[in-house]
Amino acid sequence: MFGLMVRFTCKDEAAAEAFDDLVARTGEQIRANEPGTVIYTVHRVDGRPLERIFYELYRDEEAFQAHESQDYVRVFLDERERYLSKTEVDRLDFMSGKGADVEH
């Protein structure tokens, strides 16, 4: 298993709305085309309307690389910067869990 937790902070309300639209379009493609992406969730942060948290879990590093190489992910990576004031990324080393049909 390989995972990421990413915190995005949008520039303002209009940027957050546009970012959410970009995320929705990208998410549709991820769900349809990435069997190695186990979990790809997006969350609003309660009390911080400009922040979004992504939790991403991939079958392995190879599945993550396949995700990153998709055209729609490249578009997301290029377009997102116009909406964001800050991005924080944590790479996660899976230890244990429930609900992701994972073996470790």
Where in the chain are the domains? 2-90
Q: How far is the C-alpha of 101 from the C-alpha of 104, rounded, in Å?
A: 10
At residue 46, the pLDDT reads 97
Q: Which two tokens stand for residue 94?
A: 């899976």
The arrangement of secondary structure in 2-90, i.e. its CATH architecture, is 2-Layer Sandwich (3.30)
Q: What DSSP state is assigned to residue 90?
A: E
Distance CA 21, CA 80 (A): 11
Is pTM beyond 0.85? Reply is: yes
The residue among 99 and 72 whose pLDDT is bigger is 72
pLDDT digits (tens, 9 = 90+) for 38-88: 999 999 999 999 999 999 999 999 999 999 999 999 999 999 999 999 999
Q: Does the pLDDT of residue 11 top 90, yes or no?
A: yes
